[in-house]
Amino acid sequence: MRVGRVVPEFLVTTPEGVPLPFTVASAGDRMLAIALDLLAIVLGSIATWVVCLAAMIGGARGLGLTLGLLTTFALRNAYFIVCEARWGGRTIGKRVAGLRVIARDGGPLTAEAVLARNLTRELEVFLPLAVLLLGRSLAPSLPGWALLLATLWLFVFALLPLASRERLRCGDLVAGTLVVRSPAAVLLPDLAAAAGPLPDLAAAPWPASFAGSWKAPGAARAAGPAAAQEEEIAFTREQLDIYGIHELQVLEELLRQESAGAISYDVIEEVSAKIKAKIGWAAGGRQVPTVPFLRAFYRAQRARLEQKLLFGERQERKRDPGRRG
Amino acid sequence: MPEVTLKSARFRAEREASWRELERLVGAFEARGPRSLSAAELNRLPALYRGVVSSLSVARAISLDKNLLAYLTALAGRAYLCVYGSKRRAGEAIADFFRRGFPRAVRRHAAPVAVAMGLMLLGMATGYRLTVADPERYYDLVDSRLAAGRDPAASTAELRAALYGGQDFGNDLLGAFSAFLATHNAQIGILCFALGAAAGAPVVYLLFENGLMLGAMGALYGSRGLGAEFWAWALPHGVTELTAVALCGAAGLSLGGALLFPGRHTRLQALASRGREAALLVAGAVAMLFVAAVIEGVFRQRVHDPAWRWLVAAASLGLWIWYFLFAGRAAAWPESAAAPAAALGSWAAGAGG
């Protein structure tokens, strides 16, 4: 089975001493977030100046100008700081992109860190933007090569995140922070839960496809033939010693996709046939449906591997019974 | 094979209710902040968090259910960010910053602050001496746009008028003038800090150049017998403004120092720890620049008596010296970091009261 691109992770050790992996935010997500935030700043500034110009035309010349200058300054410099300090490291753009800022040392995200990482934006974002948009008019007396050099130098900072695995920008380096994906995961039903309905099954209704192809293990006990069939399926120890944790979890993924109706039946048939061939499974004249067979195999395989785990043996990959036993 | 109930499945059945409860609390916390939870819920949060962290440790040891492991990892991460990720309320933090945090940060940076001030004074002395020796150098030292006609070609009367100018602003625009000065200077101060990440070299140049210009101008006015009046014009806001610029420069130098001389730490560690400290200097300096701008934009435009101008300069100098040397020495730091229960307790008090 094809293994996807490896997602860079960052291990934070909590004060309890437990390492927690966080997924490092991708450059694309970061770009989306900053684009949205800059858009918010620009729109905010435009709105401010519309109001202030109206006030100035209306007679409050000094007041309008003062408020306009101060608000634009605040938007440009304080927007990121206030958002990140208030919302636990999330700006509007980061919220939309599903990102947040954390401290690399595992401690809380302090106000100092938020200040430090955002004060450097002047160098990374606003200066390169100004050079791009205004160019020559910024420094009319500068020779062309010097302007080019300055521009290149600025872009070294703007593109710094691409240089590190953790996508650290200059501000992250200065503040000791890191931008990660906001962790999110849904707890799905336990594929190996055989006995009695679990306390919260009612809260997590089975997907519709379950009803068609297969019954929930908990409900199946009362359902008769399917459950009876599954209980009849037994595997020998030799059969269960072939596959490892990796294959077990690939099978878990497959079964979960099946129960969500997100995979074609042919694939399941093919996998089932492969497993049967590999472990030398003899049907013994009985007709066992594919999905119940795979579920039974998953449960037995997980039981075996977890048992080994308790005895300190972690079998990551399958063994080839023909070659090395 | 007999009907087996996996240990990992039983483990999950026993703990799942508390995970779901934590998930609900964390969801509310993330969407609407700590205030959306009741005092009792806030008190439960750290306990549930520790529960899920221990569940995660157990699950890593006994379970091979990939979805369960991913779920617990994410839930522990989310809860961790709720429990440890946030800080005191903003108002408290700001008050504490000006009472204690800022002057302490300045004292901790005594060396870079001294270097930054030294560079600026050196620039001033250099600019002064160069211009006294050869008035033509003034044109090289002071940007013509900045000089705005205040150059050796101007008559003494014109130079004097510049010191007492400002009548051309309507009174209603004084505030706007201050706002312009404050935002402009603060932006340069922030840039000074940011440039520090580029090993500090540009900061040294900026500080020195700033001094050069001021020194050259002082020499020009001095040559016309307007020296005392010039400094009476420059210093009332200059004391505050130049100190703030020196603080921003010191922050930049400290960053540069971390890159060049990381000491016992790795460069990344040194940069991270110094960067956070130095950011405090910049935040305080930005506030100082706003004060300076009000003095420059309002006081200097209204008050033209050199005696008053000298008085304000001296008073602000005394005030800053006192502030940076003595403010915030007595009281201890409030326990800020790594006390989730206390932090959550204060929210609980806030939510309850």
> Which is more confident, A111 or A219?
A111
State the pLDDT at residue A207. Answer: 42
pLDDT in tens, A103-131: 888 777 888 788 888 887 877 777 767 76
Whether residue A154 has pLDDT greater than 80: no
State the pLDDT at residue B172. Answer: 61
Facing residue for A62 by CB, picked from B19, B176, B195:
B176
Rg (CA), chain B: 29
pTM: 0.70
Q: The tokens of A181 are what?
A: 């994906």
Q: Does A260 touch chain B (CB under 8 A)?
A: no
Shortest CA distance from B279: residue in chain A:
A116
State the pLDDT at residue B9. Answer: 85
CB half-sphere exposure, A224, CA atoms < 13 A = 1
Segment A162-170 mean pLDDT? 81
pLDDT in tens, A39-56: 999 999 999 989 988 888
Listed in sequence order, the residues at least 6 apart from B94 whose beta carbon sits closer than 8 Å to its beta carbon are: none
- Domain residue spans of chain A: 9-181, 201-310
- Residue located via tokens 């269960």: A240
ipTM over 0.90: no
Closest CA of chain B from A223, distance in Å: 16
Closest CA of chain B from A38, distance in Å: 17
Whether residue A194 has pLDDT greater than 80: no
- Domain residue spans of chain B: 7-87, 93-326
Closest CA of chain A from B348, distance in Å: 17
State the pLDDT at residue A33. Answer: 93
CB contact under 8 A, B1 and A184: no
Q: Does B338 touch chain A (CB under 8 A)?
A: yes
Segment A208-220 mean pLDDT? 40
CA distance B300 to B162: 12
Residues of B in Cβ contact (< 8 Å) with A310: 7, 62
Whether residue A151 has pLDDT greater than 60: yes
Shortest CA distance from A127: residue in chain B:
B191
Q: The tokens of B280 are what?
A: 């405090």
State the pLDDT at residue B71. Answer: 92
Q: Which of B179, B182, B163 minimizes the C-alpha distance to B301?
A: B163
Please give the full DSSP string across B191-211, using - where no structure is assigned: HHHHHHTTTTHHHHHHHHHHH
State the pLDDT at residue B183. Answer: 74
CA distance B344 to B32: 15
Cβ-contact B77, A22 below 8 angstroms: yes
State the pLDDT at residue B122. Answer: 93
Distances (CA, A) of A196 to A200, B9, B227: 12, 11, 94
State the pLDDT at residue B327. Answer: 85
CB contact under 8 A, B50 and A190: no
A285 band by pLDDT with thresholds 50, 70 and 90: low
Q: For residue A214, give the 3-state DSSP assignment.
A: coil
List, in sequence order, the alpha helices (H) in chain A. Answer: 27-57, 61-86, 92-97, 111-119, 121, 127-134, 144-158, 170-175, 208-213, 217-223, 225-232, 237-240, 245-259, 265-279, 290-310
Facing residue for A88 by CB, picked from B86, B93, B182:
B86
Whether residue A272 has pLDDT greater than 90: no
**Chain-centre distance for alpha carbon A13:** 18
| Chain A (172-191) residues lying within 8 Å, Cβ to Cβ, of chain B | 173-176, 182-188, 190-191
Cβ-contact B65, B11 below 8 angstroms: no
CA distance A74 to A118: 13
Closest CA of chain A from B20, distance in Å: 9
Distances (CA, A) of A163 to A127, A166, A187, B231: 20, 9, 35, 49
Interhelix angle A245-259/B66-84, nearest 10 degrees:
90
A183 band by pLDDT with thresholds 50, 70 and 90: confident
Cβ-contact A101, A84 below 8 angstroms: yes
Alpha carbon dihedral B213, B218, B224, B226, in 10-degree steps, equals 140
Closest CA of chain A from B208, distance in Å: 20
The type of residue at A154 is: L
pLDDT under 50: residue ranges of chain B: 1-3, 167, 333-353
CA distance A112 to A6: 33
State the pLDDT at residue A213. Answer: 38
Q: Among A201-205, A302-306, B50-54, B214-218, where is mean pLDDT lowest?
A: A201-205
A220 band by pLDDT with thresholds 50, 70 and 90: very low
CB contact under 8 A, B87 and A85: yes
State the pLDDT at residue A205. Answer: 43
Distances (CA, A) of A232 to A194, A288, A292: 14, 10, 11
Facing residue for B13 by CB, picked from A115, A175, A199:
A199
Residues of B in Cβ contact (< 8 Å) with A16: 50, 53
Q: Which of B324, B326, B244 minimizes the C-alpha distance to B287?
A: B244
Segment A225-241 mean pLDDT? 67
Q: Does B77 touch chain A (CB under 8 A)?
A: yes
